Structure 1
Amino acid sequence: MLRDPEDFTRFWFRDVNEAQMPRNWLRWVSRVALLEHKVTKSTGRDNQLACYLPDCDVFLSEDRRFVRALRRVKATAPIPLPEIRLVDVEASGGRAVEVIAAALD
């Protein structure tokens, strides 16, 4: 990296296949997608959570901003990502288990 910075940059921008490094790609692109909205205390945690999308069948969140960002990420992802659904636990009176069960049906 220090000996030949141009080669190092070329490696990351041209030689690396994003589909073979999905978590790194997700960390980068979700950070960009999340920054299109107001930065909050949870932005860093949301970015970290996005790295686990390849492990999910369905991803549920109450955070409208996060869901919108992840849907944009999914639209350009070089790998398959799960369905991303918005849920509203508060509207159910806080019955999270019932909301999750209903969202998965």
Structure 2
Amino acid sequence: MSAKLSTFKHKVQDWIRLEDREWSYTVPNLPGPNKLDTARLIKKVSLVMTGGKHEINFTLLKAQDNRAICGEPLNKFLVVPLAKLRAPPRSSVPNKSIQFNSGPELN
């Protein structure tokens, strides 16, 4: 894998708001599907919410073989880790829920 591809990173959004209804991004210089498959890379979108920092970042992740992706083109997958994503305390959130009809769209 090329060092350049393994360090590919792009901030796609500076702030995350409750009012967000759609996330659609164009990532400049994103390698093509064949290049991603050859390098065994999967696209990853991370929601960063630490301290006063709320942003969405795009990176490339080295694929780990498993049943879910075995034999499939890796360029079709998107990893969205949510382990550190927490809602604010109930007292600070209006009585409102967020429903995502689909995931982020990358052009």
User: Structure 1 length normalisation: TM-score?
Assistant: 0.24
Q: Structure 2 length as normaliser, TM-score?
A: 0.24
Question: Which structure would you say has the larger RCO, counting Cα contacts within 8 Å and 6 or more residues apart?
Answer: 2
Higher helix share: 1
**Larger Rg: 1 or 2?**
1
The structure that is strand-richer by fraction is 2
